[in-house]
Each structure stands twice: as C-alpha cells, then as structure tokens.
Structure 1
Amino acid sequence: MPGPIRAFVRSVDAVNRVVGRFAMYLLFVLAAVLLYATASRVVAGVPVNWALEMSQFLLSAYYLLGGAYSMQQNAHVRMDLAYGRLSPRGRATTDAITILFVIFYLGVLLAGGISSTNYAITYGQKNYTAWAPLLWPVKVVMTIGVFLMLLQALSTFFKDLAEARGKPIA
C-alpha cells in the first residue's frame, strides 16, 4: 500500500484507540448518575427528573464513540457459515467486499447525522420532557461517533485489501 494510505490507517487507528478507551470510562459516569438517582430517590425521597435521559445520552455516547474501537479490535459479532473455512486471504477478500456496504451505510448515516445536528443547533431543539435538555450536544457526539466509525471502516477496508493482496499493513 502507498505511504499516504499507511499513514491514514495508522492515524485513524491511533485516534480511535484513544477515543475508544475514553468511551470505556463513560460506563463509570453512567453508573455514578444512576447511583445518584437511586440514592436521591431512596434516601432523600427526592426523585431527579434528568437521570433517565442523561443515562440514555451517556449510553449513546458510549456505544457510538466505542463502535470504531470495537471494529478495530475485531470485536463485532460475525455470522460464520462459511467464513471460518476460508483461508486468511479469502477472509480478507470477503471482508474487503462486505465492508463496502458498511461504508455506504455509514456515509448515509453520517449525512443524516449532520443534517439532524445542524437542525438541532439552528433551532435550539429540545427534548419534549420535563427536563427539556438541548439535543445538539448529544447529536454532535453521535455524529462524531458515526464519522469515526466511517474512518475506521475505511481503515479496515485498506487493511483487508492489503491482506487480500498478500501484503498486510503492519
């Protein structure tokens, strides 16, 4: 593979490794929010109206920011009917072809995310609940997560293509 593609793969993998490991810690923040909400309701008798939505936002950030790292680590679930019987180059060829569908899907998802985020910022969109938080922060995080996943899918495509050619990117 040419040098710029190798540099792209290395930089995308490095960024998603850092972002993915950061996303892991969001589970502790989520646990703290839920613990606070439970303690507030049980001990103080005062329910908090923001805990459910905040936990949903944190969980969304967790899986969207961690999705690219999960792809990088080959931790996604695969259906193995004939895939396991293929040679490593055969698997790489199959992966290089099928990742193109993922890239297309993520491209469409990114376009929708950008449009939705732009709308939320332009019109100050709020959620229709008692807490009524602004939605643009979570939409920005979601769009960034989809963008990072798209970059990781491109990185994976280049790695699979190189493997299929018999010259893996180290």
Structure 2
Amino acid sequence: MTFLLKVSRLIDRVTGAIGALVGWAVLAMILIGAYNALVRYLDAQQVLDTRLSSNAFIELQWYLFSVVFLLGAGYALKQGAHVRVDLLYNRLGPRARAWIDIVGTVVFLIPFAVFVFWESLPAIENSWAVREVSPDPGGLPRYPIKAVIPIAIVLLVVQALSELIKRVATVTGANDLADGDDPSGTDGHAAAAPEEAAASEEAGTR
C-alpha cells in the first residue's frame, strides 16, 4: 500500500501542475473575452475604419473554455471541488465517506468516463481525417480541440485512481500510518483547528 500511496502522490503532483496551467488558460480566456467585448462595441459604434473583431478570436475564447472545463476536471476531483448533492456526506466519519467515494468511483465515475472515451473516438477520428474546420468565415480548425476530449478523460480516470488509492488507504488504516490524508480533502491540522480554538477560548474564560 505504501508504494500505491507514492504513486497517488505522484499523480496528485502532475494533476496539480496541470491545474496551474489551466489557471493560466482561465486568465487568457478572460482577457480574450474582454477584448472581444471591447472590439465588438468599437465596431458597432464605427469608431475605427477597420473591423477589429473576428470569428477566430470569438472561437478561441470558446476553445479556451473547453480546455479549462476538460483539463480542469481531474484537478477539480483532486481538490474535491465537484458539486455534491449528498446531504449526509459531510456528517459522516472519514471511513464512511471513503466508502461512499470508493463506490461512486468504481460504479459511476470510471465506467462513465470509459463510456464517454469510447463513444467519442469515432467523431474525433472523423474530425481529424477530414481536418474539420469552423463553418464560420475566418474560424479556427475544430479537430485539434476535439483531441482534448480523450486526453482529458484519461487524466480524469488517472486522478480517479489516485483518489481511489487514498480512499482504500483510509478504509484499511494505511493512510493513518502514511500521512493521515482525509478523504474530504482536508488535512489533520485543519480538522483539529476548531477543537484547538474551542480549548483556547475555554482557557481564556477561566
């Protein structure tokens, strides 16, 4: 189990690096979006004699959003940022939460990701075969951005395996001997902080 936990930490570091790159993509998307809004206003007001806006910049903003959404999925899973609708999850103990994550990962997440990967391949292969481009004048090629789909799914599954390793370690108790990771994504210091604050407050009242 110690070896698997080391593999999990390596995967987490790679996912963290990808998350940092995605953060820069978010910044680029915001800047290009601001540029598109500004030049469309200038073009509408006919401030300049030349037209500044183009379909290429508009589609580039869409493509960056796709990159953020797809490549950021694994990072969001690592950070526990995906939306949870289970009202009982946060009220359960670490091992109970770990079991829920194990079942969810094995029964739902990985099978769904594999299904999407398999079903997306024909469309992606066809897009690359014909070198698909945007139907809009001055638009960008479509086939490169479609290639991000299977790459993102592979990264998501790899991170899911990392999370699965950590949850199994929590259930078996191996995590306590390693680094004490909490399946909720918080460490032991964060969990102990409220208790320490309460103890300090009680001492102050005395």
TM-score (norm 1): 0.88
TM-score (norm 2): 0.74
> Which residue is 1:80 aligned to?
86
1:129 counterpart SS class? coil
Q: Are residues 89 and 31 of structure 1, via their aligned partners in 2, closer, same or farther at CA, if it must alter by over 3 Å?
A: same
CA distance, structure 2, for counterparts of residue 57 and residue 25 of structure 1: 14
CA distance, structure 1, for counterparts of residue 121 and residue 17 of structure 2: 23
Match of 2:114 among 97, 107, 124: 107
Q: CA deviation at 1:62?
A: 0.8
> Which residue is 2:68 aligned to?
62
User: How many residues were matched structurally?
Assistant: 169
2:148 is the counterpart of 1:149 = no
Q: CA deviation at 1:112?
A: 2.7
CA distance, structure 2, for counterparts of residue 154 and residue 9 of structure 1: 8
Deviates more, 1:154-163 or 1:109-118: 109-118
Task: Compute the RMSD of aligned alpha carbons.
Answer: 1.9
CA distance, structure 2, for counterparts of residue 81 and residue 163 of structure 1: 21
Larger Rg: 2
> Which residue is 1:90 aligned to?
96
CA distance, structure 2, for counterparts of residue 78 and residue 94 of structure 1: 12
**What runs of 5+ residues in structure 1 fail to find an aligned partner?**
none
Residues 1-170 of structure 1 correspond to what in structure 2 (within 5 A)?
1=1, 3=3, 5-41=4-40, 42=42, 43-44=47-48, 46=51, 47-100=53-106, 101-168=108-175, 170=179
CA distance, structure 2, for counterparts of residue 85 and residue 33 of structure 1: 42
The one-character-per-residue Cα deviations of 1:9-50 (angstroms, maximum 9, x if unpaired) are: 122111110011110111221122223323333153623122
CA distance, structure 2, for counterparts of residue 158 and residue 115 of structure 1: 32
**What runs of 5+ residues in structure 2 fail to find an aligned partner?**
180-206
Q: CA deviation at 1:72?
A: 0.5
CA distance, structure 1, for counterparts of residue 34 and residue 88 of structure 2: 45
One-letter identity of the residue aligned with 2:62: Q
One-letter identity of the residue aligned with 2:88: A
CA distance, structure 1, for counterparts of residue 105 and residue 163 of structure 2: 8
CA distance, structure 2, for counterparts of residue 83 and residue 144 of structure 1: 30
